[in-house]
């Protein structure tokens, strides 16, 4: 991780070109690191970084551009020390009071600005002393539906938000209170009160997806859509989608596959995937709640294609070995972390990289999303 940080810092120095950051919080806020680099140069920087990381194993070409601003489908605003916003650059202990965020979608920005004075009335949570009430305000927005969700992550099982909730602006489709009473600083929790809605929808192509407070959904739908279209072109036959979340990839590609089985550890994700399957009337997909490692240990089915979209930590090494034993013809690997992707490729020695592409899922930040098609040697 340290090596990656050093390379990124060196590349940022090389590509920094005096672009004028549009956001008033740039420099202080830890959310964006690249607003003083033109978007063209950000893409060149990421391409060079990927060459350094993956040059020997993948044919790295230009990184596919996205919307440079206003793209995020989820922002987690921390409420602590009398402020609500994002962590200060380089400091976990300090919070920058955010007035507006240029990578957040416009409707979310407007809603956040409207509720900020109301948030200030509520006791926040000191995550260093572990005392207080309101820990996070999470804003989630469907890019193609405009539907907006607000989740209030609180430290005790009580609703102290009545005044705020009464004054919520128009156009907020879902409002939930989530309980997070542990010491871990997390922006999700057990939903214990649904004030409005409970879910929002996003649309990708012809499909609709329901999203619940804790379920994962790709952060930038404008680039997830072309990635999913690529995945659909790569899929053949009986397909297994590992780390399937709310089933978005499984359902998106189902029309190109004989059948799809999605595997996901989060029960809420599996329930939403099942609901999404029904909502889109897809007959040839099914979802299993399981840890990928346990599923692969038990699996005695044959699959032609396996799709992988693991969390940043990548696959468990034992899971890569079991997958090799399952021996699908093709593996489609979507990754948000080039380092763990490279490690996993090393463990999948029986496969060669047939195609590779990178996508700028997270403009203004060092993060990159990649997609690879691996074929059995
Ligand atoms: C990067 S997300 C991908 C979600 C989905 N493919 C999508 O596009 O929306 C990773 C998902 O893997 C799930 N996950 C993490 N570790 C897992 C494990 N060991 N077994 C099964 N699922 C896991 C997470 O809950 C999350 O939904």
Calculate how far, in angstroms, residue 94's C-alpha sits from the geometric centre of ligand 1: 30
User: For the whole model, what pTM was predicted?
Assistant: 0.94
CA gap 253, 128 in Å, rounded: 44
Calculate how far, in angstroms, residue 110's C-alpha sits from the geometric centre of ligand 1: 31
Q: 74-198 has which fold?
A: OB fold (Dihydrolipoamide Acetyltransferase, E2P) (2.40.50)
The reply to whether ligand 1 has any atom less than 6 angstroms from the CB of 266 is yes
CA gap 302, 258 in Å, rounded: 12
Of ligand 1's listed atoms, the one at least distance from the Cα of 249 is 8
The reply to whether ligand 1 has any atom less than 6 angstroms from the CB of 292 is yes
**Average pLDDT score, the chain:** 96
pLDDT digits 0-9 by tens, 2-21: 788 899 999 999 999 999 99
Calculate how far, in angstroms, residue 376's C-alpha sits from the geometric centre of ligand 1: 24
Q: What percent of the chain has pLDDT over 90?
A: 96
Per-residue pLDDT at 170: 87
Q: In the chain, what are the domain boundaries?
A: 1-71+219-377, 74-198
User: Which of 219, 224, 243, 251 most suits a substitution to test ligand 1, by most atoms within 8 Å of the C-beta?
Assistant: 243
CA gap 17, 12 in Å, rounded: 9
How many Cβ atoms sit within 10 Å of the Cβ of residue 31? 22
The reply to whether ligand 1 has any atom less than 6 angstroms from the CB of 214 is no
Q: Whose CA is nearest to atom 26 of ligand 1?
A: 245
- In this chain, the answer to whether the domains covering 1-71+219-377 and 74-198 adopt an identical fold is no
The band of 256, judged by pLDDT with boundaries at 50, 70 and 90, is very high
Calculate how far, in angstroms, residue 266's C-alpha sits from the geometric centre of ligand 1: 8
Of ligand 1's listed atoms, the one at least distance from the Cα of 292 is 20
The CATH homologous superfamily to which domain 1-71+219-377 belongs is: Vaccinia Virus protein VP39 (3.40.50.150)
Per-residue pLDDT at 215: 87
Is residue 184 over pLDDT 90? yes
CA gap 31, 74 in Å, rounded: 13
Of ligand 1's listed atoms, the one at least distance from the Cα of 218 is 9
Contact of 65 with 369, CB cutoff 8 Å: no
Calculate how far, in angstroms, residue 96's C-alpha sits from the geometric centre of ligand 1: 30
The reply to whether ligand 1 has any atom less than 6 angstroms from the CB of 216 is yes
The band of 318, judged by pLDDT with boundaries at 50, 70 and 90, is very high
Per-residue pLDDT at 1: 59
pLDDT digits 0-9 by tens, 158-171: 999 999 999 998 89
Report the Cα 195 to chain-centroid distance in Å. 25
CA gap 232, 203 in Å, rounded: 16
CA gap 358, 372 in Å, rounded: 9
Average the pLDDT over 150-158 and give the result.
98
Closest CA relative to residue 305, chosen from 327, 290, 320, 325:
327
Q: Which residues pair with 352 in a beta bridge?
A: 375
How do beta strands 238-242 and 305-308 pair?
parallel
Instruction: Read off the tokens for 316.
Output: 């468990």
Contact of 329 with 302, CB cutoff 8 Å: no
Q: Residues with Cβ < 8 Å from 63, sequence gap 6 or more?
A: 43, 46, 47, 50, 358, 359, 360, 368
CA gap 223, 228 in Å, rounded: 9
The band of 201, judged by pLDDT with boundaries at 50, 70 and 90, is very high
Is residue 233 over pLDDT 80? yes
Per-residue pLDDT at 22: 95
């Amino acid at each position: 991780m340290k090596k990656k940080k050093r390379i990124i810092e060196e590349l940022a120095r090389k590509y920094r070109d005096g672009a004028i950051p549009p956001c008033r919080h740039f420099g202080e806020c830890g959310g964006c690191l690249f607003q003083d680099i033109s978007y063209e140069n950000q893409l060149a920087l990421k391409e060079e970084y990927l060459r350094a990381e993956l040059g020997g194993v993948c044919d790295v070409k230009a990184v596919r551009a996205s919307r440079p601003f206003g793209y995020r489908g989820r922002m987690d605003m921390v409420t602590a020390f009398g402020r609500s916003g994002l962590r200060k650059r380089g400091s976990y202990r300090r919070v920058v009071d955010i007035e507006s965020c240029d990578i957040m979608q416009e409707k979310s920005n407007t809603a956040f600005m409207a509720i900020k004075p109301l948030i200030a009335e509520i006791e926040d949570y000191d995550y260093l002393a572990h005392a207080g009430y309101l820990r996070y305000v999470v804003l989630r927005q469907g890019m193609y539906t405009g539907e907006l969700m607000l989740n209030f992550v609180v430290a005790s099982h009580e609703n102290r938000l009545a005044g705020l909730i009464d004054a919520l602006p128009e156009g907020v489709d879902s409002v939930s209170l989530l309980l997070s009473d542990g010491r871990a600083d997390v922006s999700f929790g057990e939903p214990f009160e649904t004030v409005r809605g409970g879910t929002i929808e996003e649309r990708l192509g012809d499909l609709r997806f329901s999203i619940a407070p804790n379920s994962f959904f790709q952060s930038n739908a404008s680039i997830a859509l072309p990635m999913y279209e690529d995945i659909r072109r790569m899929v053949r036959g009986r397909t297994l989608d590992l780390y399937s979340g709310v089933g978005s990839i499984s359902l998106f590609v189902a029309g190109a596959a004989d059948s799809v089985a999605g595997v996901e550890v989060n029960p809420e994700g599996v329930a939403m995937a099942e609901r999404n399957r029904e909502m889109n009337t897809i007959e040839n997909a099914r979802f299993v709640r399981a840890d990928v490692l346990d599923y692969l240990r038990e699996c005695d089915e044959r699959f032609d294609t396996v799709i992988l979209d693991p969390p940043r930590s990548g696959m468990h090494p034992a899971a890569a070995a079991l997958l090799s034993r399952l021996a699908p013809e093709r593996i489609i690997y979507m990754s948000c972390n080039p380092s763990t992707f490279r490690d996993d490729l090393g463990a999948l020695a029986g496969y060669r990289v047939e195609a590779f592409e990178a996508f700028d899922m997270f403009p203004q930040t060092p993060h990159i999303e990649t997609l690879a098609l691996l074929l059995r040697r």
